Homo-oligomer: A and B are copies of this chain.
Amino acid sequence: MNFLEERIVKDGIVKPGNVLKVDSFLNHQMDIALMDEIGKEFHRRFKDKPITKVLTIEASGIAIAYPVAREFGVPLVFAKKSKSINIEGEMYVAEVESFTHKNVNQVIVSKKFLSPEDHVLIIDDFLANGCALQGLISIVESAEATVEGLGIAIEKGFQDGGWRIRNLGYQLESLAIVESMDAETGAIEFREQ
């Protein structure tokens, strides 16, 4: 097991309905040392790519993407889930269905921050059905920028998002891929990588 898998086993909580709670260290309270380690690991995996921007989606994605952008020395851009009156002008827009909240969000990125010259690393905390990632890919493609890869902290390997995105030919790196979880025993099984 790698450092993130070990932490999930130690502090993650399996709930009925294939819910994995990691809110004590990853997506509500954050262990910054762990985040920094995640940043270093994604840098190691994508360091041969000419990354110019790191793109994520609010909110918890920001804390994963921050140390990644820091390692690459590039700006961090986060997609917003609702239109703000403080944001004017032209936007890239994608529709994203939220598994957690059971609704559809428009996600938007200002056209100022993605251009055809950009080589983008997309980062998020969770991958399940892949809707959020596909929205971010669609936004990068709308900008005629290049998706250089996608980095995910925790992938639910028993849902098809990862398969669909790898099938499109993208380099998708998930630090932990959960194959199965048992809410009764709390057992978590990871995919060998």
User: Interface on A for B, CB 8 Å cutoff?
Assistant: 15, 19, 21, 23-24, 28-33, 35-36, 58-60, 62-63, 66-67, 69-70, 73-78, 80, 82, 84-88, 100-102, 109-110, 112-113
Whether A23 lies near B87 (C-beta < 8 A) is yes
Whether A24 lies near B113 (C-beta < 8 A) is yes
A84 to B27: give the CA distance in the assembly, Å. Answer: 12
Which of chain B's residues have a CB closer than 8 A to the CB of A60? 58, 62, 78
Which of chain B's residues have a CB closer than 8 A to the CB of A15? 88
Our pick among B28, B101, B112 for the contact of A77 (Cβ within 8 Å) is: B28
User: Would you give the shortest CB distance from A64 to chain B, in whole angstroms?
Assistant: 10
User: Would you give the shortest CB distance from A80 to chain B, in whole angstroms?
Assistant: 7
Whether A101 lies near B82 (C-beta < 8 A) is yes
Our pick among B23, B31, B113 for the contact of A29 (Cβ within 8 Å) is: B113
Interface residues of chain A: helix, strand, loop or mixed (majority): mixed
Whether B62 lies near A28 (C-beta < 8 A) is no
Whether A32 lies near B75 (C-beta < 8 A) is yes
CB nearest neighbor in B for A62 = B62
Whether B75 lies near A29 (C-beta < 8 A) is yes
User: Would you give the shortest CB distance from A99 to chain B, in whole angstroms?
Assistant: 9
CB nearest neighbor in B for A59 = B58
Whether B100 lies near A32 (C-beta < 8 A) is no
User: Would you give the shortest CB distance from A127 to chain B, in whole angstroms?
Assistant: 15
Our pick among B67, B73, B78, B84 for the contact of A101 (Cβ within 8 Å) is: B84
Which of chain B's residues have a CB closer than 8 A to the CB of A76? 29-30, 32, 63
Which of chain B's residues have a CB closer than 8 A to the CB of A73? 32-33
17 interchain pairs (CB within 8 A)? Answer: A15-B88, A23-B87, A28-B80, A28-B87, A29-B75, A29-B112, A30-B75, A33-B73, A35-B66, A59-B62, A59-B80, A62-B62, A62-B63, A63-B66, A63-B78, A84-B101, A85-B100
